[in-house]
Structure 1
Amino acid sequence: MLDTLQMFLFAFVVGLTGALAPGPTLVATINASVAGGWTVGPRVTFGHMLSELIIVILIISGLSTVALRYTTAVAVIGGVALIAFGLLTLAGSRHVSLAGNRSTEATVTSSPFFAGFVTSVANPHFWIWWLTVGGAMVIAGLAGGIFLACVFMAGHWCADLGWYTVVSTGIAKGRTILTDTAYRWIMTACGIFLVIFGAYYLVHLVIPA
């Protein structure tokens, strides 16, 4: 069982992996930051957090009562999903580019919060992640009490808030804080971490500590 600090750090790295991945929420942040300033990142993140909070409440209020009866199956799904997302992250890290995520379409900057919420729930990757890795990790946290599940979400949201703030600040100042090379190295490191932790998670099921 992960303790409080381990859960927070694990959630932070897993959350960072999801935030780094190119997607509609990242595009919305980049486009809106040109006119909206550095605060766009936090505001988009808060909208994204609302969509995740709704899912977590559903998990805690209902799904967990069923899932906790099948902890082994949930753990297996979570471990396999971690490895799969890690491999996908490694594959995508070779060609990602912050500049390549700019859109030529007009962006509504009046409500970054709304943009964060809509781009999250409209993203298939968002639902796949929460139906596998996210759901499994929240349930694993619940096995140690509601506090540990909250710690997981805190770490996850800190990663989202930190990354999108860095992006919006860099774009608003007319430069990119992270180079594409650094971006790719961070994604590679996150991908390796997910594969290793997923493998550890599965081995731990076979050989309990």
Structure 2
Amino acid sequence: MNLSSIFITAFLVGLSGAMMPGPLVTIALNESLKSGLGANLLVSSGHALMEALLVLVLALGLGSMLNQPFIMGFIGIIGSLFLFKMTFDMIRDVHLGKISLDMKASPGSSRNFGPGLSGIFATISNPYWFLWWVTIGSNYVALSLKNGMAGILSFYFGHILSDFSWLFIVGIMVVTGKKFISDTVYRSLILIMGVFLGILSMYFLYSGIKFLS
């Protein structure tokens, strides 16, 4: 992958995760409702800080593993399987009508930690977040490292831009009380993202097998 491909695909993969309902979205909605869009950005910043730390840890750890094809191949194959599961879950939920853009916040969900700390706690308390980074994230970091620090920065900024963008959009919906995206459009976007992840899972699988061959 070149730098542009890393940035664009990192943004799309991140967006596919950010758009699915979860604790971070709930916190962002709640903080936007209470304190406006500024608080929403602080929630995103708390999340981005934890992701920066994790990218740094993975980059330092994987740097010494790039010369071990078996490890990189294993990471690539595991990452592809996890991506495929995400694809299956997203398409299934759209088909079953389980996906809905519910803009209702949950009072008290931030527990008075403040928006920045709430973003951090919502991130690290989510086991799915750790699983994503151990599988998909670690594989992406490994591929990005082939372009050095520029590759890592392209991946990181592409990834966090998706979080900031989506959380800002849903924050605007809460603050203005307007639903700019219908459930039909939302489900269509999720379906498109699911197809994209399926294609990317095949690329990860190909990369993993190539490392082992």
TM > 0.5 between the two?
A: yes
Is 1:95 matched up with 2:98?
yes
Q: Which amino acid aligns with 2:88?
A: L
- Cα displacement (A) at 1:153: 0.8
In structure 2, the residue matched to 1:138 is 141
Q: Which residue pairs with 1:119 in the alignment? A: 122
Distance 1:100 1:46, change over 3 A: closer
1:150 partnered with 2:153: yes
**1:1-209 alignment, distance < 5 Å:** 2-66=1-65, 68-69=67-68, 70-93=71-94, 94-99=97-102, 102-105=105-108, 107-108=110-111, 111-203=114-206
| 1:24-52 CA distance string (max 9 Å, x none) | 10001112211211223321110100111
Give the Cα–Cα distance (whole angstroms) in 2 for the partners of residues 156 and 192 of structure 1: 18
Partners of 1:32 and 1:109 within 8 A in 2: no
3-state secondary structure, aligned to 1:98:
coil
Equivalent residue letter for 2:143: A
Contact 1:39 1:168 in 2 (8 A): no
TM (norm. structure 2) is: 0.88
**How far is the alpha carbon of 1:102 from its aligned partner?**
3.2
Compute the TM-score of the two structures, normalised by the length of structure 1.
0.89
Q: Which letter maps to 2:136?
A: V
Measure, in 2, the Cα distance between the counterparts of 1:118 and 1:110.
9
Q: Secondary structure at the match of 2:65?
A: helix
Name which of structure 1's ranges 84-93 and 199-208 shifts more when overlaid on structure 2: 199-208
Whether the aligned pair in 2 keeps the contact of 1:44 and 1:112 (CA below 8 Å) is yes
Query: Post-superposition shift, 1:197?
Result: 1.6
- Aligned residue type for 1:45: S
**Deviation for aligned residue 1:23:** 0.8
SS of the aligned residue for 2:37 comes to: coil
Counterpart of 1:28, as a letter, is I
Distance in 2 (alpha carbons) for counterparts of 1:164 and 1:181: 19
The DSSP-based 3-state class of the residue aligned with 2:181 is coil
Identity %: 27
User: Is the Cα contact below 8 Å between 1:26 and 1:101 reproduced in 2?
Assistant: no
Classify 1:193/1:121 alpha carbon distance in 2 versus 1 (closer, same or farther; 3 Å).
same
Deviation at 1:63, TM superposition (A): 3.9
Distance 2:208 2:138 in 1: 18
Kept in 1: contact 2:12–2:162 (CA 8 A): yes
CA distance in 2, matches of 1:106, 1:7: 34
Higher mean alpha-carbon deviation, 80-89 vs 145-154, is at 80-89
